[in-house]
Amino acid sequence: MSPRRRKGSPPTPSVSIPEAISLLSTAYAPLPHEGRLEPAQELVFTILSQHTSDTNSARAFQQLMDRFGALEAVAQAEVADIEAAISIGGLARVKAPRIKLVLNRVLELNGSLDLTFLREMPLAEAKAWLRQLPGIGPKSAGIILSFALGMPAMAIDTHIYRVCQRLGFIGPKVTADKAHDILEAAVVPEQVYQFHVSLITHGRQTCKAQRPRCGDCVVAWGCPSRDKFLIEKEIPTSSPS
C-alpha cells in the first residue's frame, strides 16, 4: 500500500539510486572514511561490533590486540582470557567463544589467517567462502570484503536498510539478507562503497528511525515515504484541551 498523500497533491517523484548517492554525498561531504583493517582483523571486529557502539567495539578490539599482539595468539588463547580482554565491548561471554571458533575455523580451512586471497576470487565465491564461517552472514561478509579488501560487496546495516525501504529502493517485505543481493545488483561496483557511506550517514543524521527529519532531507522531493511522515507529524498525539 503506497503512503497517503494530501488530497489533490501530485504523486511524489522517485529519486534514483545514482541521484541519491550524488545528493547525499554532496550534502554530507566530506563523508567519513572507514579505516581499513586486515581482513582477519575486520572479521574479528565485525563480531565485536554486534549489538554495541562503534566506540566500545573499537576499544574492545584495541584491548584484544594489546593483550595478545596477534590474532594467531587469540586463536590459541583460553576463552576466559579472550573474554577478559574484550569485556569493555559488552556481551563478552558470547563473543569470546565465537571469536576463538571463527579464527580456528579459518585456520582449518586456509592454513593461515591471511584472507587476502579472497580478493582474487569472483565476488560471489568470496562471499560464499566467508559465509561458511560460523556466525558470518551477508552483512559481515560484505563489510570484510568492502572495507578490508576494497571489493564491491554490499553491507546492509539497520540504517541503510531503513533508508532504502523509505526511498523505495527495496520493497517493504524484502528481508535484510535479500536486500544485499538486490542492492548489489542495482548499484554499479564503483559506487558501492560510496553508496554505503552516504546512506549510513543519512540514516544516522537525518532519516532517523523514530523521527526522520524530512524538512532537512535533500532527497525528500523524491521520497515516497515523505508524505506519510509529514502527515503523522501534523496529526496531534492527544485531543486539544
CATH number at residue 53: 1.10.340.30
Residues annotated as catalytic (active site), given as ranges: 139
Q: CB–CB of 131/138 below 8 Å?
A: yes
Do 188 and 123 lie in a common domain? no
Q: CB–CB of 153/146 below 8 Å?
A: yes
Number of domains, the chain: 2
Do 66 and 86 lie in a common domain? yes
**Among the three residues 100, 129, 148, which one is the final residue of a domain in this structure?**
148
pLDDT digit of tens for each residue in the chain (241 aa)?
Answer: 334 444 444 455 689 999 999 999 999 998 766 667 899 999 999 999 988 887 899 999 999 999 999 999 999 999 999 999 999 988 899 999 999 999 999 999 999 999 999 999 999 999 999 999 998 999 999 999 999 999 999 999 999 999 999 999 999 999 999 999 999 999 999 999 999 999 999 999 999 999 999 999 999 999 999 988 876 654 333 333 3
Query: Domain span at residue 99?
Result: 39-148
Do 25 and 44 lie in a common domain? no
Does any domain span residue 111?
A: yes
pTM beyond 0.75: the answer is yes
Instruction: Read off the C-alpha cell for 1.
Output: 500500500
Does any domain span residue 1?
A: no
Q: CB–CB of 17/186 below 8 Å?
A: yes
